[in-house]
Structure 1
């Protein structure tokens, strides 16, 4: 049997099949194509001694109760601050300072500073001097700006108003003038201008090398990747997949509660570990920020992968990955909301590794599964 490396995320989901979902080791070994010896070893590593576990759980439970009580008090106080201060959340610091002064005897100052995202030192400084020298100067400049704006019959924007002030001998910056005009809704009167469409613009980082050529003659020539999201009561669960275009097989995946760069890098790392390509592989994606990051391009360069990107606004350039996500949501998720992210992870893992790759018939492959198609093409 050929040796195969598995990512920690794959091992964790495989162990959950045995520990949480009640499958036997033999069943999981047959379903996932992993040796029973490896599964026993993985289960042993994650299952501690029951007595030690029970004692540890009691200690942890007591600690958690104390933490939860303290957290509940903080949460209730923060909730009340949000309810009473919702009108000042998006206001400036001085407006928040006024709210803090009015409610100083009701809430703790440190909590109000944290909730309203202001500094305590700034609050104390404001108590000594409610209006700063800069604010006084801003008021004086605002009067001059309004005079210049009115003299131009409302057609001057910040660059021309700034030129008027400099000609009058005022020493101020153009960005300050623009900020004051924006804060007081003073803007130049312009004719209507229709927005310009930008859909279809090519990527400046990586050109579209795939060009919708989705039929590939051999494995490990072209991979496509994309991200989707799955709704749970705990929040979004984001799924990144890597598919080999030859057999439409999912060769790498990763699920995380955020769309950080690690999401796509872990999925691509799983694909590299599984396939171990000996020749450069084209990796096609959309123009998401994760795929345009420096970490992504460094990983591709270090592992001899050739990045390719779709045009902006053209989901058809990455139609295979979009089609997989459509099948996943129509065949398994079906617009439901999972109670927890763990339930969603387990269900998506079962769909990819047990059903889609090994069993599901694919119309593009002559109604055989991706693994059966790969075996037949060797």
Structure 2
């Protein structure tokens, strides 16, 4: 496998896996599908002084963290518990018990009980029986309420549901029925709001040749590309990806601190190097300025790629790329703010190359990973 298939950005992130994240060359080679010989060359090319300095700084930082943690553990724990549990300080005892149970892997139970002024013996009694008799009865009534609601096709409110329960011989009050339905978001359907039809303006640079035909018969028949942003304490980190519609595999990506057009060109270049398509490939994007640049059009013409653009303001025309970004942010980022751009790069690299392409089950592919789906074609 030729090293020419990998961009410098891919090589840097692969080397980080060995030097900074503690994986061996054999492990990284197996995880990323790169030959061990190439990976040894990439690691050897890194300046030894620079890697030793970073390792020394990392050891010093860890030593300082361990010293501070040992010295301030009790003080910080007693300080953090009221800060995290300020909403439950004046709440009912069972609410405090629930908070203690949710955080018992982070703080000691005895300390939390002392700070929140809750009984330790009472907590363990609640732990073995978390639901009171009233809560158990509420669960039983909820099942009856759902049956009444479903039988009415969702048009019954609390009054009619309450009437059904009374007719069935239940003695609960209508206020209890109201509370249970509100807590479980059960409410009567009164008509519906018609979905707004989204009709964006067509692009004058490239027509919408894909036209939402997101299911294709062969690899490298159609790619979709888009850009998203990730928040860090150093500023935004922008991510551009290229996704093959056949197996929903990310075949190209690039991460940069700016939105210059190089970010989309590098992602597309990675896709071309990795896939080496033998036929003309349709490349679909939105109407961003990066995709409307002269460099983008020249690159597509030089590599036998056919540009296609969504209608303006219509995200559904590029739904596959939007779906990937949604999965990335829900499954890995989870509204986190990374401390540095390097930490964000490493985490996103791991998600794309190790988890998403090689392991993650994709519902569109019959619950197999993109690489497994492509291997089945061979």
TM range (shorter): 0.5 to 0.7
1:6-29 per-residue CA deviation (whole Å, 9 max, x = no partner) reads 110000000000000100111001
Change (3 A) 1:336 1:303: same
Question: How far apart are the structure 2 equivalents of 1:225 and 1:8?
Answer: 20
CA separation in 2, counterparts of 1:216 and 1:370? 14
The residue aligned with 1:326 is 326
Tell me the residue number matched to 2:192: none
Q: What's the counterpart of residue 206 of structure 2?
A: 206
Give the Å deviation of 1:4.
Answer: 5.8
What is the match of residue 34 of structure 1?
A: 34
User: 1:254 aligns to what SS in structure 2?
Assistant: strand
Change (3 A) 1:313 1:264: same
Partner of 2:262: 262
Secondary structure of the residue aligned to 1:336 is coil
Counterpart check, 1:347 vs 2:347 = yes
Equivalent in the alignment of 2:301: 301
Provide the C-alpha distance between the structure 2 equivalents of 1:4 and 1:359, rounded to a whole number of angstroms: 25
Distance change >3 Å, CA 51–CA 36, structure 1 → 2: closer
How far does the alpha carbon of each residue in 1:338-363 deviate from its partner, in whole angstroms, 9 at most, with x for none? 00000000000000000000000000
When structure 1 is superposed on structure 2, of 363-372 and 39-48 the one drifting more is 39-48
CA distance in 2, matches of 1:269, 1:25: 26
Paired position in structure 2 for 1:16? 16
Instruction: State the match for 1:194 in structure 2.
Output: none
Deviation at 1:377, TM superposition (A): 1.4
Structure 1 consecutive aligned stretches of length 4 or more whose deviation exceeds 2 Å: 1-4, 47-54
The 2-side partners of 1:28 and 1:52 are apart by 20
Matches within 5 A, 1:1-378: 5-48=5-48, 200-378=200-378
Determine helix, strand or coil for the equivalent of 2:48: coil
Shift in alpha-carbon separation, 1:356–1:201, aligned structure 2, 3 A: same
What's 2:102 paired with? Answer: none
Equivalents in 2 of 1:204, 1:51: separation in Å? 50
Give the whole-Å Cα distance in 1 for the aligned partners of 2:345 and 2:201. Answer: 35
Q: 1:234 to 1:377 in 2, by over 3 A?
A: same
Whether the aligned pair in 1 keeps the contact of 2:19 and 2:51 (CA below 8 Å) is: no
Q: Residues 315 and 198 of structure 1: is their aligned pair in 2 closer, same or farther, counting only changes over 3 Å?
A: closer
1:48 Cα deviation from its structure 2 partner:
2.8
Against the structure 1 CA distance between its residues 236 and 49, is the aligned structure 2 distance closer, same or farther, given a 3 Å change threshold? Answer: closer
* Counterpart contact for 2:201–2:311, Cα < 8 Å: yes
1:217-260 alpha-carbon deviations (Å, 9 max, x no partner): 00010000000000000000000000000000000000000000
Instruction: State the alpha-carbon separation in 2 of the partners of residues 3 and 352 from structure 1.
Output: 19
* Structure 1 residues without counterparts, runs of 5 or longer: 58-196
CA contact (8 A) 2:3 2:38 kept: no
Residues of 2 paired with 1:20 and 1:257: CA distance?
Answer: 21
SS of residue paired to 1:375: helix
Instruction: Identify unmatched segments of 5+ residues in structure 2.
Output: 58-196
Cα distance in 2 for residues equivalent to 1:49 and 1:41: 17
CA contact (8 A) 2:198 2:314 kept: no
Rounded to whole Å, the distance in 2 between the matches of 1:353 and 1:208 is 29
> How far did residue 5 of structure 1 move?
1.8
Superposition TM-score, scaled by structure 2 size: 0.60
| Aligned CA-pair RMSD | 2.1
SS, match of residue 243 in structure 1: strand
* SS of alignment partner, residue 263 of structure 2: helix
Distance verdict in 2 for CA 1:238–1:51, change over 3 Å: closer
Larger Rg: 1
- The 3-state SS of whatever aligns with 1:270 is helix
Output the CA distance in 2 between the equivalents of 1:24 and 1:299: 37
Q: 1:62-110 CA distances to partner (integer Å, 9 max, x unpaired)? A: xxxxxxxxxxxxxxxxxxxxxxxxxxxxxxxxxxxxxxxxxxxxxxxxx
